[in-house]
């Protein structure tokens, strides 16, 4: 149990497991000094990181707030800042941060920070939240301190702006994102939380099938002639088609598409956001795999192809352009082979590679509620 003195403010970073916990731990290294320098008056801050799934099983703001309040009271923390990588919603808008100065708590939805300069934005958001809550505690006020300007707070998190709060809600200050820019910001944050680069080791069997397909295709004389006859537009079409096939196959075969039984427009918008993040996450992972296949095929072609044999079969000299064209086309063929090979992967392995830990648990809960969880 943490005990605070008059000169020390105990700040708990209550973080969901996985990515939020990693962010909180890195943040805790510099946050105390930044808070002390900014607040002045000789005040010191003791920052603790607590990793636990406080958002498990719910996206309801009232439920989450109640859990955070109960946890803070049990540990006697002065201020609690909860971090989650779930995209939260409030009154049809995407939540950025909720603050309750009366209870000394803040709830931050990390996807609202976007995918670029994420660490810096997260640190600034938490710093502003803690200073706002600490100012209220110092003055004994139950609402936001007068010196705290909503415009200043929102400016640090631009394009975040103040949002509406219901009469029965605990929060007394809320910031949301809305509009096309807000949608793209949250979407990029969700994709970053999913960490699409993890899809590569998660598709080991598919990559093995793609590499084998590429190795065989590179020594196929029919493909030499076909690749030599293709122009850049057709090669681009082959790339787009093979990547789209791979993405679609992974989403359909591993049951990654999010369905909602709710007819409410807000539920459908949420489902569309989740599906968009899935498509972008898987798409980035497949594109990285495609680039890797192209590089491997190019090295393999440089090693295996013979100038005279290639010229006799393809009726064109073997120059740098032919190496590049053949490797590009073979990468598309190999990606199709990888799509077929991905059927050997388990659905759970693909989900673990494509989603953050919170998102995996959220989807597992929804499937259990519907009773249609696919058998793997």
Label residues 48-69 b or e (16+ Cβ within 10 Å = b).
ebbbeebbeeebebeebbebbb
pLDDT for 303-354, tens place per residue? 887 777 777 777 777 778 888 988 999 999 999 888 777 665 556 666 665 6
As a whole number, mean pLDDT of residues 346-366 equals 60
pLDDT for 175-219, tens place per residue? 888 788 888 888 888 888 777 777 777 777 788 888 888 888 888
Per domain, the residue ranges of the chain are 8-188, 196-372
pLDDT of res. 139: 61
Q: Is 4 helix (H, G, I), strand (E, B) or coil?
A: coil
Residue 246 structure tokens:
């791979």
DSSP run (H or E) holding 264 = none
Q: Cβ neighbours of residue 86 under 8 Å, at least 6 residues apart?
A: 16, 55, 59, 109, 111, 358, 359, 362
Q: Cβ neighbours of residue 208 under 8 Å, at least 6 residues apart?
A: 341
Does residue 257 carry a pLDDT above 50? yes
> Given this structure, which CATH class describes domain 8-188?
alpha beta
Report whether 189 contacts 276 (CB < 8 A).
Answer: no
């Amino acid at each position: 149990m943490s005990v605070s003195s008059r000169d020390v403010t105990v700040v708990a970073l209550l973080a969901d497991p996985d990515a939020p916990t990693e962010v909180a731990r890195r943040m805790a290294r510099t946050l105390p000094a930044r808070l002390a320098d900014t607040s002045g008056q000789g005040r010191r801050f003791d920052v603790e990181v607590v990793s636990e799934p406080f958002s498990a099983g719910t996206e309801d703001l009232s439920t989450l707030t109640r859990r955070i309040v109960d946890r803070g009271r049990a540990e006697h923390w002065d201020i609690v800042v909860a971090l989650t990588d779930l995209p939260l919603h409030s009154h049809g808008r995407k939540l950025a941060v909720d603050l309750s100065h009366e209870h000394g708590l803040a709830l931050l939805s990390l996807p609202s920070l976007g995918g670029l300069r994420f660490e810096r934005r997260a640190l600034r958001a938490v710093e502003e939240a803690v200073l706002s809550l600490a100012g209220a505690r110092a003055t004994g006020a139950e609402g936001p301190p007068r010196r705290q300007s909503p415009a200043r707070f929102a400016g640090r998190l631009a394009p975040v702006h103040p949002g509406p709060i219901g009469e029965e809600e605990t929060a007394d200050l809320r910031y949301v994102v809305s509009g096309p820019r807000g949608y793209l910001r949250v979407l990029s944050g969700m994709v970053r939380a999913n960490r699409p680069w993890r899809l590569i080791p998660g598709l080991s069997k598919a990559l093995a099938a793609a590499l084998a397909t590429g190795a065989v295709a590179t020594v196929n004389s029919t493909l030499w002639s076909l690749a030599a006859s293709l122009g850049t537009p057709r090669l681009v079409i082959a790339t787009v088609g093979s990547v789209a096939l791979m993405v679609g196959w992974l989403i359909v075969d591993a049951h990654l598409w999010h369905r909602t039984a709710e007819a409410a427009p807000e539920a459908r918008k949420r489902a569309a956001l989740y599906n968009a993040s899935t498509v972008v996450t898987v798409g980035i992972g497949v594109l990285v795999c495609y680039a890797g296949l192209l590089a491997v095929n190019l090295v393999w072609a440089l090693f295996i192809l013979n100038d005279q044999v290639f010229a006799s079969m393809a009726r064109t000299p073997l120059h740098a352009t032919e190496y590049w064209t053949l490797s590009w086309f073979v990468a598309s063929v190999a990606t199709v082979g990888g799509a077929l090979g991905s059927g050997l992967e388990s659905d759970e392995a693909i989900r673990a590679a494509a989603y953050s830990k919170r998102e995996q648990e959220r989807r597992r809960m929804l499937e259990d509620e519907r009773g249609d969880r696919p058998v793997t």
